[in-house]
Amino acid sequence: MKVLLLVPPGLERLEICQSIGVRAPPLGLAYISSVLECNGCKVKIVDSPTLNLDLKRVVLEVKMFKPDVVGLTALTPTIYNAYKIAKYVKAIDRWIPVVIGGPHATFMYEEVLNESIDVDVAVVGEGEYTFLELLNVIEKYGLNSNLLKSVRGIAFRDDGNIRFTGYRRLIADLDSLPPPARHLLPMDRYTVFDKPIRVAHVIASRGCPYGCTYCSTSYFMGRLYRIRSVGSVLDEVEDIVYRYKARNIVFVDDELTIIRRWIMEFLDGLKERGIDISFACGSRVDHVDRELINRLYSQGCSIIYFGVESANQETLDKIGKKITVQQIVNAFKLVREVKGEAAGSFILGLPWETIEDMRRTVAFALKLNPSYAQFTAATPYPGTPLYETALKDNLIEDRDWSHYTTLIPVMKGYSFTREQVSKLLVQAYILFYFRPTHLLKEVKNGKFKLAAEMISRILKPRHLQILETII
């Protein structure tokens, strides 16, 4: 079968990472593609945001490829563009099955299937083997609802009702998956800050045991933390270096250092194999100590991403972060001592907080002085406990999914308005990035132009105009 897998356009205009020139590949589609190719399918991936394709060009890609099945992936802010693509596909040939997956479709499959009559099936959760099994049924029987019932992990229409076939068991052995099909991706187009640097992205694990209330990872990929063997990750990194000439690796795991023995063996393996790379990774402030920090930065780690979120211990406890303010302070102190770089994320607008709580978080960011700070508006993504709380307490004031980008406040708090969060968000970026000490440091390190470009993109007119619509 010929399968066309599409990332809808629109993300490049909305997400913070896209706004600052960080383009990441759709690894989920790449993994699905590799499984399909291993089973005889001809697959094409169209990464619309990275290729800067608009809807018209995406439609042209569909016409030229003439797929038997179209698969779409969508985050919450791109779901409407996914609907548009599905409509265009059906206009080209109404008999082409359209399948959608990803976090939004997983948690909102009933709404998706009710809102878009052009979407035939929603894949819920991990998609590799669910999609393969679904294709086998479609190839033999088409969209026969009686036979679709046998495929675990999908939702579809059945005599006017939405039928969900139940959750598929998580893939326990990640080593059993073939490597992602990078040959189907525009590998030369993935960038950091729009610089001409070859960058490759790797995922070593799935799932998160922590279950923070604002994050959908542990609810989409499960609370069971699964990690690949050290050898398989080293093999993939080695292949990337030699095949794609990329020596800058971004580990997209939320937390790469959760198992200390694993990360130490990985660092040993890099040295033993003579793999010379620079890599970025995420970690938790309670998982690092002096020895690990020294090892990471001395063996190629360029930056560590820490989820700080708040300066208020009560908030850290409420969101299930399971860290302390002191652990945050200690982690950033260790990074400074080895002259390493770290990024911190900070959330403004959690419903129980006050304006003063949020201001303390901004002040805390200035005190920690990470290399980069990411300030986001608390966003109640479907599938998270925060979404359930916001629904129950009638806090959501904006149900336009395209605004769910973390740059636009969509819910009020118990004691503040969306307008107040909008202003604080802009102020936070200005206060952090335009401090004299920070500007001087960027000039000294030769990064002033880079930092100026980054902040100008985040606060560019189109984002400010969107914010102003609710101020």
CATH of the domain at 110: 3.40.50.280
Q: pLDDT digit string (tens) for 186-200?
A: 998 887 655 667 889
The verdict on residue 111 lying in a domain is yes
Per-residue pLDDT, averaged over 231-244, amounts to 96
Q: Among 18, 11, 120, 124, which Cα is nearest to 383's?
A: 124
| Residue type present at position 9 | P
Per-residue pLDDT, averaged over 70-74, amounts to 96
Q: Among 5, 163, 165, 32, which Cα is nearest to 98's?
A: 5
| Residue 124 lies in domain | 2-157
Q: What is the pLDDT of residue 22?
A: 63
Q: Among 427, 403, 437, which Cα is nearest to 79's?
A: 403
Q: What is the CA radius of gyration of the chain?
A: 22
Q: What is the pLDDT of residue 402?
A: 93
The verdict on residue 403 lying in a domain is no
C-alpha span between 350 and 380 (Å, rounded):
9
The verdict on residue 418 lying in a domain is no
The verdict on residue 257 lying in a domain is no
* Domain count along the chain: 1
Angle CA(207)–CA(3)–CA(233) in degrees, nearest 5?
35
The verdict on residue 55 lying in a domain is yes
User: Alpha helices of 25-127 — where are they, by DSSP H?
Assistant: 27-38, 48-51, 55-65, 79-92, 103-107, 109-115
Per-residue pLDDT, averaged over 168-185, amounts to 96
More confident residue, 310 or 217: 310
C-alpha span between 439 and 417 (Å, rounded):
32
More confident residue, 452 or 179: 179
Strands 98-101 and 121-123 turn out to be parallel
Q: Among 416, 357, 343, 351, which Cα is nearest to 379's?
A: 351
Q: What is the pLDDT of residue 440?
A: 80
More confident residue, 121 or 188: 121
Q: pLDDT digit string (tens) for 302-313?
A: 999 999 999 999
Q: Measured on CA atoms in the order 370, 375, 378, 382, is the torsion positive or negative?
A: negative
Element (H, E) at 358: helix 355-368
C-alpha span between 52 and 158 (Å, rounded):
37
Average model confidence (pLDDT) for the chain? Answer: 91
Q: What is the pLDDT of residue 468?
A: 47
The verdict on residue 36 lying in a domain is yes
Assign 70 a pLDDT band (cuts: 50, 70, 90).
very high
Sheet holding 154-158, edge to edge: 42-47, 2-7, 69-73, 98-101, 121-123, 154-158, 161-164
Assign 446 a pLDDT band (cuts: 50, 70, 90).
low
DSSP SS3 for 325: helix
The verdict on residue 95 lying in a domain is yes
Q: Can you read off the two tokens belonging to residue 29? A: 């589609």
Q: What is the pLDDT of residue 471?
A: 42
DSSP SS3 for 471: coil
* DSSP-assigned beta bridge partners for residue 278: 248
Q: What is the pLDDT of residue 466?
A: 44
DSSP SS3 for 41: coil
The verdict on residue 15 lying in a domain is yes
User: Alpha helices of 93-229 — where are they, by DSSP H?
Assistant: 103-107, 109-115, 128-141, 145-148, 217-220
Q: pLDDT digit string (tens) for 25-45?
A: 999 999 999 999 999 999 999
DSSP SS3 for 95: coil
C-alpha span between 295 and 108 (Å, rounded):
42
Q: What is the pLDDT of residue 221?
A: 86
Query: What proportion of the chain, given as a percentage, has pLDDT over 90?
Result: 79
Q: How far is CA 175 from CA 125, 203, 235, 461, in A?
A: 18, 12, 11, 45
Question: Could you tell me if 99 and 142 are in contact, meaning their C-beta atoms sit under 8 angstroms apart?
Answer: no
Per-residue pLDDT, averaged over 267-281, amounts to 96
The total of other beta-carbon atoms located within 10 Å of residue 224's CB is 12
Q: What is the pLDDT of residue 220?
A: 87
